Amino acid sequence: MSSFRIIALTFAALPGMAPTTSAAPELAPPFQDRTVLQREKPVPVWGRATPGEHVSVAFAGQMVGATAGSDGRWIVMLTPLAENASGSDLTVSGKATVTLHDVVVGEVWLCAGEANMEFAVDDGGSYRIENAAAEVAAARYPLIRQFKVARQAAAAPMESAPGEWSACTPATVGRFTAAGYFFARELFARLGTPVGIINCTWGGTPIEAWMSPASLAAFPGFSNGHPAAGAGTKGGDPWAPGSLFNGMIQPLLPYALRGAVWYQGESNVGRASLYATQFPALITSWRSHFGGGDFPFLWVQLANFSPPAKGQGDPWASLREAQSRVLSLPSTGQAVAIDIGEPGSMYPRNKREVGRRLALIAKAMVYSIPVEHSGPVFSRAAPEGPAIRVQFQFAGEGLTASGKPLQSFEVAGPDRVFHPAQAAIRGDTVIVRSPAVAQPVAVRYAWRNAPEANLYNGAGLPAAPFRSDDW
């Protein structure tokens, strides 16, 4: 039976938009033909109409109404929806009627970040994954859909950002985020439900650009000093703090999501200590702004990469550590990619494995599917005479070295000087020693910009880089 409720919700006015004078109500850009709505959660639907106009939304047996405010904005809330893979019409009625076709209900994930998330399956240009031709030809998944948010940087919160929903076909998949596509494909294969990915990306952008003005308030005096700031932008500087939240995230609020997947950090290498506080602030604020509670937030740890300029230390290792520390937040997960990068390229092409590892985390953490989802994670290290024994969580059925001696272990004595070390697997632990260190007190693994990392568990998932010291 249909239900009817009046929803008296309004938005705060945002700059750059005026009340509509059109005959038909307008919908926010994420609502169009082929939209994917989130199942099993309340679903906000919003847009603009003539001030004072009554608007009703009809979908899946529900009819919900609201009155446009003085600024023309309206919003209604559909009660939690059951999965719908067959596609239905969603109707918005006011002075005239707008009908959206082929609207499905399933799982919706926001896929955001910089170039490695933007990296497309095959965009016909610089972005092309491994085995691109075969992957494109096989991409016949009309229930996997992408909403691509247009690039838009802004100094103030924007109400609208252009975008388009596309069903996955060989003709469209080339423009999908590759990591997001393979993540969605893994979920679809297991869940059998429609999967929508919202592609919200801009290559070469720092985390502060994606942070909300509210979260940036905790970082007084923060400024950007990127030499290319403002180059080639539309209406704003994509390096400016808050600019991409204002231009690309704000217009999505409060779209109903299952969770978010994040691949970013390259542009913040060299500022790891700051990133360690910025990243949790971003996650917490996005959760608050979307209103979904502690929704799942997954990310990809930076892959192995050898910067062309050899500076002091190993800043990529430090940034990876900053990412790992954020796992202290609830409902978070990290896909390790230290073994599948391309040391000579910041943009590795093996996005299929990235998507698979992210999907394993989602299956275990979000969908309660019993799968191995993590590689070995450092637990503790204890000296044993001239060696040091390392223990791990998520060792699974045992540790493996991918058919060769373990690489990229280092140990240090009281002098805090690290030396390359030999390492051997002993059950679910690793024994590490070096002839140059008589009394080891600290151990590191894969603690370099571009290490050769070959420690895995029985599920074939790589160990996360670690250090036992805090020097």
- Write the pLDDT tens digit of every residue in 64-81: 999 999 999 999 999 999
- Identify the H or E element spanning 209: helix 207-210
- What pLDDT score does 6 carry? 32
**Do 3-104 and 106-365 share a fold?**
no
| Residues in the chain, pLDDT under 70 | 1-22, 223-235, 309-312
pLDDT one-digit tens code per residue, 189-220: 999 999 999 999 999 999 999 999 999 999 98
Judged by DSSP in three states, 399 sits in strand
**pLDDT at site 241:** 95
CA 314 remoteness from chain centre = 24
Q: Does domain 106-365 have CATH number 3.40.50.1110?
A: yes
Q: How much is the pTM? A: 0.93
Taking phi first (over 0 means left), then psi (-120 to 50 degrees means alpha), and beta for anything else, what does residue 121 get?
alpha
Q: Where are the domains of the chain?
A: 3-104, 106-365, 377-467
Position 279 scores a pLDDT of 98
The predicted pLDDT at position 310 comes to 64
What's the CATH code, domain 3-104?
Answer: 2.60.40.10
Report, in angstroms and rounded to the nearest whole number, the Rg of the chain calculated over CA atoms.
24
CA distance 207 to 303: 17
Match 């008296």 to its residue by tokens. Answer: 8
Burial 319-343 (b: 16+ CB within 10 A, else e): bbbbbbebeeeeebbbbbbbbbbee
Structure tokens at 355: 């998507």
pLDDT at 231: 38
Classify residue 414 by burial, with Cβ atoms within 10 Å: 0-12, 13-18, 19+.
exposed
Please tell me whether residue 358 adopts helix, strand or coil conformation: helix
